Structure 1
Amino acid sequence: MRILLLCHSFNSLCQRLHVDLRRAGHEVSVELDVHDDLTREAIALFSPDLVVAPFLKRAIPADVWRRTLCLIVHPGIRGDKGPSALDWAILDQQEIWGVTLVEAREEMDAGPVWAWREFPMRPARKSSLYRHEVTEAAVACVFEAIGRLKRQEGAAMTANWGPGRERPACRRADRMLDPARHTAEEALRIIQASDGDPGASLTIASETFLAFDASLASGLCGAPGTLLGRCGKALAVAFREGALWIGHLRAARPGSLKLPALTLLGSEAMELPMVPGPEACRYREADGVGYLDFRFYNGAMSAEDCDELREAIFAAREQALPVLVLQGDADCWSNGIHLGLIENADSAADESWRNINAMNDLVREIIVSDDRLVIAAVLGNAGAGGVFLSLAADEVWMRDGVILNPHYKDMGNLYGSEYWTYLLPARVGEARAHRVTQARLPMGADEALELGLATHVLPVDVDLAMREVRRRAAELARAPDIADRIAAKRERRIRDEAEKPLSAYRAEELQRMRRNFYGFDPSYHVARFNFIRKTPKSRTPVTLAVHRAGGDTAGRRRKVQ
């Protein structure tokens, strides 16, 4: 079936559908919702059997949906209508929520329903619910609808009706935090409902910010609105009852950047006392295995983040255990260097250089850990340098449903480092390495396994995936040949170093990166600016819009040889 994905931006859900639909043998192309005339042109060029809209911010033109079946992913239960469905579900503390696949009609979210799924709500950020429950439900709905089409069945329901109701868009007033009125738990819910975009409004020292990345600050209390302390880059803020850790803030003005809270508030916040709070890295042991859990908001890793994780790995190696598991956050494993902090720096080139060198130091620490086997438990999506960070481990155990973007080129033809010229060919071979870095397309766990980017695929459910990581790691630690495997790893590293030192790979990569950062071509800086500032695209890249590329309109990847 020829399927056109029409979307406001190519977000995580769009990428997952792109991967799964292609994997199922469908011919898939993408058109970004830039202008109605371009949408019409895409329909004319691709002649799709079906248009799926996973993420839109405005209506599809009537002449398009009258001519071609258009199904819209609505992140709400049956009967729910409006643009802030998931936000209201969190704010209203809904116990059950869902996704409804609605056919486009004049009235938004009111057309025939082709499929729906429901799920229990977790106390989590909107972005986390979207990446997991909403995404899994949406994928299931789309494939159910395709099945109905193949069987020549119509919609499952003639209109969108059910337990939900029509709600307006969330207003700024719905997202305002009042420390004198709200408890910490109430404020947390508002921030979770506003996470990702647009943030929850919070006044600190007479200045209004948008707050993100919050968690309860157990045991802390004080006068409502006061700053109680700092931990890492997070700040503790008192509410009517209790307190919250706020990890990220953005000034409430156009063009401002979302940054770590301590970075944004600066010298005043640095005078606050250090208080135990959320840890970016946490080490634990079980069944003869060392586990190093790490979480960096949205997978962005600053130079300081890289140093912290590298030091944690070094400290973990002091424990004489045969297996070390690096387990990233279930929402994002890593997306490489921190483009937001780089954009905010006085010299973006200098901060880019500092960040990539810190990232390289981290990757090298994993590569040279030759006294144990290192497992990368990739439970969340990964992109760019974050993918190659995982390849520094001996094995990569990847959760089904994870989406990888193992390429740098969309960031202004960035060359990339993280020892990828050593790690990637060693894993997949030179030919496949070229394909991976040049494709500019997302891939799923199954393809990663076929290519060699993953060693084992874990269950899609996060809890089941973590349980399997623990089981497999314990079995590996008890394996009778574990000492032989570690010895073979050490010998292999010695041979590789003799053939070509790690320092040579690093120097060659950084020579190219220096040109990206400091050279005459500003492509990286322009691409970073547009990405961080969320500048709307004026066209769909031909890597996605294969109907505009000519030739291979199916846009299929060549089968792995």
Structure 2
Amino acid sequence: MHILLVASAFNSLTQRVHAELRDRGHSVAVHIALPEAAPPAPAPGPGAGEPRELPGDALRAAVARHRPDLILAPMLRTAIPRDVWSAHTCLIVHPGPPGDRGPSSLDWAVHEGVTRWGVTVLQADERMDAGAVWATAECAVPPVGKSDLYRGEVSDAALAAVLLAVDRFASGTYVPLPQREPRPGEAEEGPYRTRPYFRQELRRIDWERDTTDAVVRTLRAADSQPGVLDELLGAEWFLHGGHPEDTLRGRPGELLATRTGAVCRATADGAVWIPELRARRLPGEPVPVKLPAVLALAGRLPELPDLPEVPARGRSWTDIAYREEGQAGFLSFAFPGGAMSTGQCRRLLAAYRAARARPTSVLVLGGGRDFFSNGIHLGVIEAAADPAAESWANITAMDDLVEAVLCTTDRLVVAALGGNAAAGGAMLALAADEIWCRSGVVLNPHYRLMGLYGSEYWTYTLPRRVGPALAERLTTEALPVSAEAARRLGLVDRTTACAPQDFGQETRRFAVRLAASPAVSARIAAKKAARDRDEAVRPLAAYRAAELARMRGTFFDPQAPYHALRRDFVRKAPATGTPPHLARAVPERRRVTGLDASDGAPGPVGCYQEG
């Protein structure tokens, strides 16, 4: 079938649906639905207060151009016009179980602490989220942030429901089930209800009275957007992310300590770690950038103890940790949004060198449930006094880390991707000897949507894995690749179908078995010999110099598109249209590789990173 994806942004779920529908032989195109001027409000009366349709001329034109068999909306904030959904089957992915309605479904689920949730694929009609149901899927709700949940369990459930709905539509015989209308009293209670937008007034934290668990739940329900508006050190900030702390105590609301860029703030019965802050926007000012909390508070922060990276026992938080089991070492890291600043790269490199000094035969990088890495930290770069100089410092720090991985010849290194990876983060994974992915992972092994040539030794590692021709296509076509397609391409070595919460345990099991294998010594010796041969043909330093020459030219050219693209990305500039590389249909004949034949230039909307 030819499927048109209509989305408000090419976000993580839209990317996954795009990639996995292509894997299954469907032709897929994308239309980015932009907000348009709404028509005059209707006169008071029946129907008043219901969502108003937008004009939708751009969507009508896209539908007329593509003539899709099916329209599918994985993430849509605007209504589809009546003349479109009445003429075409339009399926909407709602991140809630049947009967749940409203624009803040996951916010409410996390805020209320539910343990089970679901996703519903329903048909667009007159009322928002009230159309006939084509498919549903349930999922667990672990104690994680909303964005992590969305990219993990909700994404798995959504994909299962989407594939079932697409198959049912393709059969031509399935009749979707109408939703039951709520009975009296169910508007506020029970499973059949429309809940309001989760406004900031509902997110307020009472530091004097709220427990640590209550504060963490409030923070997680707003992660990574919109954050929780709060007052701190004489200014208003949006707080992003929340992790419980059991040991530190203080006066509720007081800042107690810092660790790796985060601040610890006292609650009524404990404390929480807050990794990131974003200033409140002032009238006439650009959208502020989300930053590590200590950096955001620079100049305001009082003298506080800076705690070591490895926390004490009990509930606490750190972004880098190391442990061992048998002959396997595990170096885990979890940076908000997958972005890695200069300082984070340097700290991870120091931790990697310390792990490399341990007597292990296998070293696992990653293994967490969310983002592996998305490369350089565009937010910190944008906020720097000299963004060009900070870009340069950040990319050289990334290169130092990747070089250390590539030059590890006394053990096997495994990159374990429980979550998505893009740009330099995907290339960091390629430096390892093996790449293991959870089946729900999406890879974006390219840089061009940010106007960059790329570094991290990609010109050595990517062709080494997939060959020069495919490496060229992956980096120029700039399309997301599913974990299973990546395995078929040779981009990754192992995919594991498991829940996000189980990936760490699965990785541990595989790594311990690999380290105990009698063949591991021979593999390490063969790896060292191969590295020596490659070095003799062309030294790693030559790859690095050639890549960085291109990157330096971009960073220090004020007219380079990178600067505007970076600024628009981190400051959430509204999209201006659908990029050509997404608007073109990906033909079925390319489904084996999962790649698009297009060579169009990228537009302003892409899939470089997610905050």
Q: Do the structures match in fold with TM over 0.5? A: yes
Report matched runs for 1:132-211 at 5 Å.
132-159=152-179, 161=181, 163-211=191-239
1:496 pairs with one of 534, 537, 547:
534
What is the alpha-carbon distance in structure 2 between the residues aligned to residue 493 and residue 409 of structure 1? 29
Task: Show the counterpart of 2:576.
Answer: 538
SS in 1 for 2:582: coil
User: How many angstroms apart in 1 are the aligned matches of 2:523 and 2:427?
Assistant: 22
Bigger shift: residues 311-320 or 493-502: 493-502
Structure 1 residues 359 and 190 mapped into 2: Cα distance closer, same or farther (>3 Å)? same
Whether the 8 Å contact between 1:230 and 1:269 is mirrored in structure 2 is no
Q: How far 1:290 sits from its partner (Å)?
A: 0.8
Residue 265 of structure 2: aligned partner: 237
State the match for 1:258 in structure 2.
290
Match of 2:508 among 440, 448, 470: 470
Q: Which runs of 5+ in 2 are unaligned?
A: 37-55, 183-190, 595-611
The offset of 1:154, in angstroms, is 4.0
**Preserved CA contact (<8 Å) 2:8 2:75:** yes
Asked whether the equivalents of residues 102 and 160 of structure 1 are also in contact (C-alpha less than 8 Å), the reply is no
What does 1:421-436 correspond to in 2, within 5 Å? 421-436=459-474
Could you tell me how far 1:159 is from its partner in structure 2?
A: 2.5
> Conserved in 2, the CA contact under 8 Å of 1:328 and 1:334?
no
CA positional deviation for 1:466? 2.8
Greater Cα offset, 321-330 or 19-28: 321-330
**Which residue identity does 1:219 align to in structure 2?**
T
Match of 2:489 among 421, 429, 451: 451
Instruction: Tell me, in whole angstroms, the C-alpha distance in 1 between the residues paired with 2:366 and 2:22.
Output: 29
Q: CA deviation at 1:195?
A: 0.6
Match of 2:553 in 1: 515
Cα separation, 2, equivalents of 1:274 and 1:10: 38
Match of 1:95 among 115, 120, 137: 115
Deviation of the 1:118 alpha carbon: 2.0
Aligned equivalents of 2:467 and 2:513: distance in 1? 29
Question: 518-527 vs 528-537, which deviates more?
Answer: 518-527
In the alignment of these two chains, the number of paired residues is 555
In structure 2, what residue type is equivalent to 1:14? T
Q: Which runs of 5+ in 1 are unaligned?
A: 548-552
Change over 3 Å in CA distance of 1:155–1:91 after alignment to 2? farther
Question: How far apart are residue 515 of structure 1 and its match?
Answer: 1.3
Cα drift, residue 50 of structure 1: 1.0
Structure 2 CA distance for partners of 1:87 and 1:160, relative to 1, 3 Å: farther
Q: Which residue, out of 454, 474, 481, partners 2:519? A: 481
**Aligned amino acid, residue 17 of structure 1:** V
Shift of 1:331: 1.1
Task: Write the letter of the residue equivalent to 2:270.
Answer: G
Task: Quote how far apart the aligned CAs of 1:421 are.
Answer: 0.8
1:297 corresponds to which of 314, 319, 336:
336
Residue equivalent to 2:46: none
**1:184 CA displacement:** 1.7
Whether 2:143 is the aligned partner of 1:123: answer yes
**Any residues of structure 2 matched to 1:332-481 within 5 Å, and which?**
332-412=371-451, 414-481=452-519
Rounded Cα–Cα distance in structure 2 between residues aligned with 1:349 and 1:557: 39
Scaled by the length of structure 2, the TM-score of the pair is 0.88
Using the TM superposition, name which of 93-102 and 243-252 deviates more.
Answer: 93-102
CA contact 2:367–2:507 (8 Å) conserved in 1: no
State the Cα deviation string for residues 136-183 of structure 1 (Å, max 9, x = none): 111111122122223323443212557231111111101112211322
Percent identity (aligned): 46
Please give the secondary structure, in 2, of the residue aligned with 1:273: coil
1:316 aligns with 2:355: yes
Residue 270 of structure 1: how far off its partner (Å): 6.2
Q: Displacement, 1:554? A: 3.1
The answer for the alignment partner of 2:105 in structure 1 is: 85
1:221 is paired with a residue whose SS is coil
Larger RCO (CA under 8 A, 6+ residues apart): 2
Counterpart code for 2:235: E
**Cα offset for 1:58?**
1.3
Q: Counterpart in 2 of 1:4? A: 4
- Paired with 2:511 and 2:495, the residues of 1 have a C-alpha distance of 14
- For 2:549, the aligned partner's letter is Q
What SS does structure 2 have at the residue aligned with 1:63?
helix
1:523 shift after superposition? 0.2
Contact map agreement 2:23 2:591 (CA 8 A) in 1: no
Equivalent-residue separation in structure 1 for 2:589 and 2:450 (angstroms) = 23
Separation in 2, partners of 1:107, 1:134: 23
Cα separation, 1, equivalents of 2:88 and 2:81: 11
Give RMSD over aligned pairs: 1.7
Confirm or deny: 8 A CA contact 2:26 2:588 kept in the other structure. no
* Cα distance in structure 1, aligned partners of 2:192 and 2:332: 38
Q: Which stretch of the first structure deviates more once superposed, 169-178 or 384-393?
A: 169-178
Give the alignment's TM-score, normalised by structure 1: 0.96
Moved more, 378-387 or 320-329: 320-329
Amino acid at match of 1:235: V
How far the C-alpha of 1:492 sits from its partner, in A, is: 1.6
**TM-superposed deviation, 1:461:** 1.9
Question: Could you tell me which residue of structure 2 aligns to residue 550 of structure 1?
Answer: none
Indicate yes or no: 2:126 matched with 1:106. yes
Tell me, in whole angstroms, the C-alpha distance in 2 between the residues paired with 1:60 and 1:262. Answer: 43
Residue 282 (structure 1) aligns with: 321
Partner of 1:24 in structure 2?
24
Comparing 273-282 with 165-174, which one deviates more in the overlay? 273-282
Query: What is the alpha-carbon distance in structure 1 between the residues aligned to residue 461 and residue 199 of structure 2?
Result: 48
The change in CA–CA distance for 1:160 and 1:340 in structure 2 (over 3 A counts) is farther
CA distance in 1, matches of 2:546, 2:338: 26
Describe the shift of the 1:541–1:555 C-alpha distance in structure 2 as closer, same or farther (beyond 3 A): farther
Using the alignment, how far apart are the partners of 1:522 and 1:176 within structure 2? Answer: 42
The one-letter amino acid paired with 1:262 is V
Does 525-534 or 200-209 show the bigger shift? 200-209
Query: Would you say the 8 A contact 1:111–1:160 is kept in 2?
Result: no
Cross-structure match for 1:51: 71
Partners of 1:449 and 1:111 in 2: how far apart?
A: 37
Letter in 1 for 2:575: K
